[in-house]
Structure 1
Amino acid sequence: MNNFQSPGTYFQNFKGHIHIGKGSYIAPNVGIITSNHDLMDLDKHSISEDVVIGRKCWIGMNSVILPGVELGDATIVAAGSVVTKSFKEGNIVIGGCPAKEIKKLLTGLKK
């Protein structure tokens, strides 16, 4: 099973890395970034931080994943969410701005 990315996705990885697990889906207009602008000098960027998306995740349309975020396997990100922190445990649905846990998925990740 391969990864699936839709039109309009934005992957910004200045000096950081973006790791996307096998079988993950990324909907249209999703942004994944590894660095923000420096608040004291907008012409510069802050230090990059890797972003890690586990296996079989689903990142909903118009969501943004910020630097340093790690999502565990089978994490579903609701459309329009801004993910500012990690959710390493996986098998959950997160959403909102900033994203928070909405519910646990009762069935684990299928191999």
Structure 2
Amino acid sequence: MALSEKQKMLTGQLYHASCPQLQKEQAANKQWMHRYNNSVELLSQARHGLLAEHFASVGEGVVIRPPFYCDYGYNISVGANTFINFNCVILDVLPVRIGADCQIGPAVQIYTADHPLDLEVRRTGLESGRPVSIGNNVWLGGGAIILPGVTIGDNAVVGAGSVVTRDVPAGAVVVGNPARVKG
């Protein structure tokens, strides 16, 4: 039996995001984002409840300051006591795992979504993804961009504005575009 476009997406294969099932899920996610992003007047417990209803998992004490944007939400897991500042974008066509006790600055972008390099394949509208994993006690400085397939080890620091194109070892400090281990 052939895989659905969603099954292809979730297994990292090339898929069409324009299929009706994924379009329906994106529309539902837009409604959730509208609710979440208009929740600034709510107590943090109520906002936490909105996250818990939509994410794969969300630990106690997680704070995500609206506005927040994602593709689906159900591929995002966030560990306890993690703080995500304003204007975060997570393109979660595959799992995004963020550990506990992380600090994520404003306007950070985390991408699992990817597109084929081959022009002819890209023209067909096919896309794919690679998961992102961020360890415990990681600090992502404001405006950092985490590209598809990256793993960031525990206790690492990513400097503000850095573009992370490859894995970051535990405890490392990386800066720049592309991000490199500092000194």
Report 1:1-111 matches (<5 A): 2-14=81-93, 16-39=94-117, 40=119, 41=122, 43-45=125-127, 47-87=128-168, 89-103=169-183
Task: Write the distance in 2 (CA, Å) between the matches of 1:92 and 1:37.
Answer: 29
Counterparts of 2:92 and 2:172 in 1: how far apart (Å)? Answer: 26
In the TM superposition, residue 20 of structure 1 has moved relative to its aligned partner by: 0.3
Whose strand proportion is higher, 1 or 2? 1
Cα distance between partner residues in 2 of 1:49 and 1:11: 13
Highest RCO, 1 vs 2 (Cα 8 Å, sep ≥ 6): 1
Q: Which has the larger radius of gyration?
A: 2
Q: How many residues align?
A: 100
Give the deviation of 1:3 after TM superposition.
0.7
State the percentage of identical aligned residues: 34
The ranges of structure 1 where at least 4 consecutive aligned residues each deviate by more than 4 angstroms after the TM superposition are none
Equivalent residues of 2:88, 2:109 under 8 A apart: yes
- The more displaced of 32-41 and 73-82 is 32-41
> RMSD over aligned Cα, in angstroms?
1.3
- Supply the distance in 2 between the matched residues of 1:33 and 1:44 (Cα, whole angstroms): 16
User: Deviation per CA, 1:2-32, whole angstroms, max 9, x where unpaired?
Assistant: 1100110000011x10000000111000000
Q: Is the partner of 2:90 in helix, strand or coil?
A: strand
Q: For residues 65-96 of structure 1, what are the alpha-carbon distances to aligned partners after superposition, in whole Å with 9 as ceiling and x for unaligned?
A: 00010011010000000000002x31111011
Q: Distance in 1 between matches of 2:114 and 2:130?
A: 10
Question: Aligned equivalents of 2:129 and 2:115: distance in 1?
Answer: 10
1:56 to partner: Cα distance: 0.3
Supply the AA of the counterpart residue of 2:91: Q
2:47 matched to which residue of 1?
Answer: none
1:107 aligned residue:
none
Q: TM-score, normalised by structure 1?
A: 0.84
- Of Structure 1 and Structure 2, which has the larger fraction of its residues in helix? 2
Q: Secondary structure at the match of 2:100?
A: coil
| Alignment TM-score, normalising by the size of structure 2 | 0.52
TM-superposed deviation, 1:48: 1.1
Per-residue deviation, 1:36: 2.1
